Amino acid sequence: MLENLKYKVWEANRRLAKSGLAKFDWGSVSYFDRDTKMMVIKPDGIDFDELVPENFTVIDSNGNIIEGDRPSSDWQTHLEIYKNMDVNTVVHSFSEAAMGFAAANRPVPVFSATHARFFKGDIPATRLLTKEEIENGYYSNLGKVITETAKAPDEIPAVIVSGHEPYIWGHTIDEVVKNAAVLEAVAKSAISALTLSPGIPPLSKTLVEFLYKG
């Protein structure tokens, strides 16, 4: 089932790891096929260099595992995003600079032209989950807080999940892997800017508007 899509998602996961945006068995790329209402996601607990397309898990929109190995532990987070956003593919990355912002519960400010060309403003950070949200449906609630935070999902296709890691989305696999790489690059740049010039203001709204995919 969905063999071509499994191959594409497998290839995207390999690209994620080769780009340094994930390592070991951490992180994942998924894709939701709107025609069949099925999600293909990386299996849990298998290192990226040991993955094969046949391992990949197919899950329906109700959360039933249709085919494949045990899915990535955050599959419910991915599915929640697909239910609430008009996107086709999601990345959960483990890139170090972006993870630093997640650990600090801070958004990534728009300090550079590169940032503004891909993300039309600061990349927001979620609120922390409540005790009840952690204890009752943690992974689904992660997805809900992501969609709650993503006020402009097409213009800013990423969220920093406080105390966790970044999530990135898009309409195509190429787009989402690129967005994940750009997020890490601008997060590194932002850390450098804040180190060299604490208190530096972000780019003006006028400049961001001008640069955004201009």
- Give per-residue pLDDT as tens, 1-26: 689 999 999 999 999 998 888 888 88
Per-residue model confidence (pLDDT) at position 168: 98
User: For 53, which DSSP code?
Assistant: G
What integer pLDDT is reported at residue 52 of this predicted model? 93
- 73, 74, 76, 78: CA torsion to nearest 10: -140
In the block, tokens 């239910």 appear at 83
In this structure, are residues 87 and 171 in contact, taking their beta carbons and an 8 Å threshold?
Answer: yes
Cβ burial of 100 (10 Å; 0-12, 13-18, 19+) is middle
Domain boundaries, the chain: 3-211
The answer to whether 149 and 125 have CB atoms below 8 angstroms apart is yes
3-state secondary structure of 107: coil
Low-confidence spans in the chain with pLDDT less than 50 = none
pLDDT of residue 26: 85
| C-alpha to C-alpha distances, 139 to 11, 73, 80, 168, nearest whole angstrom | 25, 8, 9, 16
d(CA 61, CA 79): 7
Query: According to the model, what pLDDT value does residue 99 have?
Result: 96
Residue-level pLDDT at 174? 94
Note the pTM of the prediction, 2 decimals. Answer: 0.93
Please tell me the distance from the alpha carbon of residue 66 to that of residue 88, in angstroms, as a whole number.
19
Architecture of domain 3-211: 3-Layer(aba) Sandwich (3.40)
